[in-house]
Amino acid sequence: MSQTLDQAVAVAGYYPALASSVLKGAIGAESVRAHFVHAETTFDDREVRRHMTVLVITDTRLLRVHMDDGAGHSGEGAHEASATVETAFLTRISNMAMTHVVHHPENFREGDGPSELVLAVGWGIHSRIELEPATCGDENCDADHGYTGGITGDDTLVRVSAIADGIDSVHALERFAATLQQAIGAPA
C-alpha cells in the first residue's frame, strides 16, 4: 500500500488500523496509481454515524472500501464497524460522470474551481430490483398477473464540497477522477 494512502487513512481518523488492514488485503501485491479518501459524519435525530469511503486505482482494478459505524449485535450494545470491499476490473467500468456544481456561477472565472463535485462510476457490481404486482388495467379483475418491475444499477457515488470537506478535498477528487478517466480510456 502506498505511503500516501496510508497517511490519508490515518489523517481521516476512522479506525485507521482496521481500514489499513482491509485495504492492504484488497490491494494485494498491486501498485496504487491513485487514491481518494473521504470521511464523513452524518447526524439524525438520535445518533451520530461516521462513514469512510476509500477509492483506489491499481494497474488493473478500481477498489471501493466503505466503512460504517454499527450498534453491535451483543446485548451489551457494544460498538462495531463494518468494512465492505468492492472491486471492479478497469476494463469492466462502463461509464463515469463528474458533476461540477458552482455556487454563484455569475461570478465564475476561468481557473476557478467548482464548489462541489460528484463522481459517479458505473461498474455493474450491484443492482437493485424493484418489483410490484402487475395488473391488467381492469379495476374489477382480481386475477394474479404476476409481477412487473425493473433492475437499476447502483453506481458508486462520491460527493465532496468545499464548504463541508474543504477545497483540498475537491481538488483531490478532481485529480483522482482524471487518473480514473485515463485508466479506463475515457477522454480527459
Task: Tell how strand 116-133 and strand 48-58 pair up.
Answer: unpaired
Q: In the prediction, which pLDDT does 151 show? A: 67
Domain that holds residue 158: 3-184
Given a cut of 70, the residues of the chain with pLDDT beneath it are: 1-2, 71-77, 124-128, 151-155, 186-188
Q: What's the whole-model pTM score?
A: 0.78
Supply the CATH number for residue 116's domain. Answer: 2.30.29.30
User: Which residues touch 128 (CB under 8 Å, ≥6 apart)?
Assistant: 151, 152, 153, 154
Domain total of the chain: 1
Q: Are 94 and 122 in contact (CB under 8 A)?
A: yes
**Which amino acid is located at 86 in the chain?**
E
Q: In the prediction, which pLDDT does 128 show? A: 63
